Chain A
Amino acid sequence: MKRRGNFDDAFRAWASRPAGVDVRRLVSAVRGQDHAPALGIRLRPVWATLAAVAFVLASGASWWSRTQAPRETPPPLHATGPIVPSPESDVVVVWIDDETPVYMFLNDATER
């Protein structure tokens, strides 16, 4: 087939142009990887890849479960303990819970 022959010739001519890769640059790039495994050492061991994949999966699952879980609305604030007037008459302590006191300082209207 004449046409096929023409395409094949054009293909050969097109593919066979000079490589455009400098061997000296390639060797210096190879030398730059002198710890790399011509000696059979893997640059990135399998366990590192597996650990990275496991970490990504765990992070994704954690994020997804957090987005899917119903949001807990914080309970409304209310005093759990008795309102204890301090010895000074202008300070009132309100206990929100066992560890959270709220001090309210009462000023006289004349001080404003």
Chain B
Amino acid sequence: MALARSEILDAGAGILTRVHDPPCCDTLSTVTSQIGDLAAARRGDPEAFGRLIEARLARLARLARSIVGDADAADVTQESCLACWRHLGQLDDLTKFDNWLMRIVYTTGLRRARWQRMRALVFAAPSSSDGGREPAQPAADPTDGIFVWEALSRLPARQRAVLHLTVVEGLTDSEIAATLGIRAGSVRAHRRRARETVESLWNNAS
């Protein structure tokens, strides 16, 4: 069945709204192939699913890294992709595929972050003066990547996700709200608190 160019672009607009990698993906052929891959993946084609994920992998991994850190980011990304594959048949609106996928990474990351916190509570070294409740002070050099994670790890996982989608992905409040399934007002509140915490750490480290 042949579709008019405008029909294909309309159908693919939602799918490709937030895909930045590769940069040429808004061409007609890319839109068409993405729609075809999504349909094939829903029919159970792992290769098509792999192509869909490959176009989004960097974005998924960035979000996972910001929520759970370097050590668990690859695991969370992979676990999220497998969950996406398992539940792809339950996705009603194909235009929401990208938001749906990001939401899976977010919820998987939240679960992992909760587990990390429990693990830290159980296995925290009791020798520190504060009883192991607070993480170590951020690294002295604020331009260092270690500082970024030290600062992020002070934030609740939801605030990390909101800050990530704002700073790294450049999404608007309503886009973040749609991605995370929360209200735009909550997005603003999370971001404000995250900014306050990060700025105080930044000032102390400078």
Q: Are A38 and B85 in contact (CB under 8 A)?
A: yes
B49-105, CB < 8 A from A: 49-50, 53-54, 57-58, 60-62, 65-66, 73-74, 77-78, 81-82, 85-90
Instruction: With both chains docked as a complex, state the minimum distance between the C-beta of B133 and any C-beta of chain A, in angstroms.
Output: 25
For residue A12, CB closer than 8 A to chain B, the reply is: yes
Known: A14-B145, A26-B50. A40 touches B90 (CB 8 A): yes
Residue of B41, B47, B73, B195 touching A4 (CB-CB under 8 A): B195
Q: Which B residues touch A47, using CB under 8 A?
A: none
Q: How large is the interface on B (under 10, 10 to 19, 20 to 34, 35 or more residues)?
A: 35 or more
Select from chain A the residue with minimum beta-carbon distance to B164.
A15
Number of A-B contacts (CB under 8 A): 120
A70, chain B: closest CB distance, angstroms = 37
Using known A-B contacts A33-B85, A39-B43, determine if residue A16 contacts B62 with beta carbons closer than 8 Å.
Answer: yes
A24 to B148, CA, bound (A): 30
Of the candidates A3, A15, A29, A34, which one forms a contact with B168 in the assembled complex, judged by CB atoms under 8 Å apart? A15
A21 interfacial contact with B, CB 8 Å: yes
Question: Which of B1-9, B25-33, B198-206 interfaces with chain A?
Answer: B198-206
A3-B203, A3-B206 are contacts. A33–B148 as well, Cβ < 8 Å? no
| B148-A14 in contact (CB<8A) | yes
Residues of A within 8 A of B164 (CB): 11, 15
Within 8 A of B (CB), among A1-41: 3-4, 6-8, 10-21, 23-27, 29-31, 33-34, 36-41
Interface size class of A (residues with CB under 8 A): 20 to 34
Q: Known interface pairs A11-B148, A33-B85. Does A19 touch B54 (Cβ–Cβ under 8 Å)?
A: no
Nearest chain B residue, comparing its CB with the CB of A24: B50
Q: Using A3-B206, A7-B142, A8-B167 as known contacts, say yes or no to A19 and B147 having CB atoms under 8 A apart.
A: no
Q: Which residues of B contact A (CB under 8 A)?
A: 41-47, 49-50, 53-54, 57-58, 60-62, 65-66, 73-74, 77-78, 81-82, 85-90, 142-145, 147-149, 151-152, 163-164, 167-168, 195, 198-199, 202-203, 206
Q: Which residues of A contact B (CB under 8 A)?
A: 3-4, 6-8, 10-21, 23-27, 29-31, 33-34, 36-41, 43
18 contacts between A and B (CB under 8 A): A4-B202, A6-B202, A7-B148, A8-B167, A10-B148, A14-B149, A15-B65, A16-B58, A17-B65, A19-B62, A23-B50, A26-B81, A27-B47, A31-B46, A37-B87, A37-B89, A38-B42, A38-B85
